[in-house]
Chains A and B, each alone.
Chain A
Amino acid sequence: MSYPTSELLALASETRATILQRLEAGPRTVGEIAQGLPVSRPAISQHLRILEQAKLVTEEYQGTRHIYRIDPTGLATLRTWLDRFWTRSLDAFAAEVERQNQTPPSHAKQRRASRP
């Protein structure tokens, strides 16, 4: 039995997306993550390793159980960037409001002379 490679690759990515979606609901064991997925347990573990390397999930041992959860550090750079970005943007917005408060727009100025 053979599958086109691209389909297998897409399935691999969809599986990881599904894993992340399940973990967003809360921490899960490998067994819970694998439930209902058409993928073998070793394959799930392989996907989890890849997600762990990307710092999107983190693993914790509770006795003999391995619990996986979302690791926010993988998205921390993005979040930090957005945080700074919105701070700068809102500051610029407030400055623009102030600027317009100081110099109310003149109606005469807004009417543009049309030039050929």
Chain B
Amino acid sequence: MQNSAVPPVRKSIAVSTSPDRAFALFTGGMHQWWPRAHTLNPKAERAAVIAEPRAGGRWFERAVDGTECTWGQVLTWEPPHRVILGWQLDEQWQYNPAFLTEVEIRFESKDGKSTHVTLEHRNLERYGVHAATLRAGLDSDEGWMGGLRGFAAVADSAAAS
């Protein structure tokens, strides 16, 4: 691992459809494939995951009872080849408008029949900087470390489920 920034998470997968349909399903049909366990609202079942189709649009989930939880925003909207989502969930797993990491998804035609989808989640080092800033109100060594431990616990239990 390099000594400065935290490397981005990079993933790719091939799907047998056109970039147009892949883009439409990825962005417009998120509720159909987004892992069900991954919700900010454990109290009510999820009805939809919505990325508003424009730069500056909201990215959020809506539960069956109408409750909405914001995840971030749409930063770049270039159908059918590229979308950049602003993932604004901090290390406490809370939406935080002052915090932002980028998730860029590209859709490239391979042979006319299939599409290569590549995803990059970057700016992960901001979690460290943000963790340091967040503690303004409850600053103590215990509290600050507690925040990171809290995140680790959430992450571990989510990974185990």
Residues of chain A whose beta carbon lies under 8 Å from any beta carbon of chain B: 6, 9-10, 12-14, 16-17, 19-21, 23-27, 50-51, 53-54, 56, 69-70, 72, 74-75, 77-98, 100-101
Q: What's the interface size class on B, roughly?
A: 35 or more
Chain B min CB distance to A54 (Å): 6
Bound-state Cα–Cα, A54 to B127, Å:
12
Residues of B within 8 A of A17 (CB): 129-130, 132-133
Bound-state Cα–Cα, A10 to B141, Å:
13
Residues of A within 8 A of B124 (CB): 75, 78-79, 82
Within 8 A of A (CB), among B128-161: 128-137, 139, 141, 144-145, 148, 151-152, 155-156, 158-159
B128 engages A101 (CB within 8 Å):
no
Residues of B within 8 A of A86 (CB): 9, 11, 119, 121
Bound-state Cα–Cα, A95 to B91, Å:
29
A9 engages B137 (CB within 8 Å):
yes
The answer to whether residues A16 and B3 also contact, given A54-B144, A86-B9 and a CB cut-off of 8 A, is no
Bound-state Cα–Cα, A50 to B117, Å:
41
A70 engages B4 (CB within 8 Å):
yes
Residues of A within 8 A of B22 (CB): 97
Is B67 located at the chain interface by the 8 A CB criterion?
A: no
- Which of B31-39, B40-48, B50-58, B76-84 lines the interface with chain A? B31-39
Report the number of A-B residue pairs with Cβ-Cβ less than 8 Å: 141
Per DSSP, chain A at the interface is: helix
Bound-state Cα–Cα, A86 to B12, Å:
9
The answer to whether residues A96 and B128 also contact, given A13-B136, A69-B4 and a CB cut-off of 8 A, is no
Is B69 located at the chain interface by the 8 A CB criterion?
A: no
Residues of A within 8 A of B145 (CB): 53-54
5 residue pairs bridging A and B, Cβ less than 8 Å apart = A70-B5, A74-B148, A77-B155, A94-B117, A97-B17
Interface centre among B6, B119, B128, B133 (most CB of A within 10 A): B128
Bound-state Cα–Cα, A95 to B13, Å:
11
Bound-state Cα–Cα, A103 to B42, Å:
31
The answer to whether residues A79 and B9 also contact, given A50-B144, A93-B15 and a CB cut-off of 8 A, is yes
Is B94 located at the chain interface by the 8 A CB criterion?
A: no
